[in-house]
Amino acid sequence: MKDEDWNETGIPLAYLITFRCYGTWLHGDERGSIDEFNNKHDTPFLPPNEKWHDFNKEILKYPPVKLTPEMRSAVETALRETCEIRGWQLFAINVRTNHAHSVVAVGNICSKKVLSAFKANATRKLRERQIWQFEHSPWADKGSRRFLWTEKSIETAIDYLINGQGKPLPDFS
Give the start-to-end residue ranges of the domains of the chain.
Answer: 3-24+66-163, 26-63
Residue 94: DSSP 8-state? E
Tell me which amino acid residue 50 is. Answer: E
**What is the CATH number that goes with domain 3-24+66-163?**
3.30.70.1290
Q: Look at residue 37 in the predicted model and tell me its pLDDT.
A: 61
Q: How confident is the model at residue 133 (pLDDT cuts 50, 70, 90)?
A: very high
Report the range of poorest mean pLDDT among 17-31, 41-55, 126-140: 41-55
Q: Which of 148, 151, 139, 156 is nearest to 41 (CA)?
A: 148
Q: How confident is the model at residue 172 (pLDDT cuts 50, 70, 90)?
A: low
Q: Look at residue 3 in the predicted model and tell me its pLDDT.
A: 46
End-to-end distance of the chain based on CA atoms, in angstroms? 45
Strand partners, 16: 103, 146
Mean pLDDT calculated for residue range 158-163: 93
C-alpha–C-alpha distance, residues 59 and 93, integer Å? 32
Strands 144-148, 99-105: parallel, antiparallel or unpaired by DSSP? unpaired
For residue 63, the tally of other CB atoms under 10 A from its CB is 8
> For residue 69, what are the contacts with CB-CB under 8 A and spacing of at least 6?
169, 170, 171, 172, 173
Q: pLDDT (tens digit, 9 = 90+) per residue, 56-105?
A: 788 789 999 999 999 999 999 999 999 999 999 999 999 999 999 999 99
Q: Which residue has the higher pLDDT, 24 or 155?
A: 155
What pTM was computed for the model? 0.85
Q: Look at residue 166 in the predicted model and tell me its pLDDT.
A: 79
Q: How confident is the model at residue 165 (pLDDT cuts 50, 70, 90)?
A: confident
Give the largest Cα separation in the chain, rounded. Answer: 51
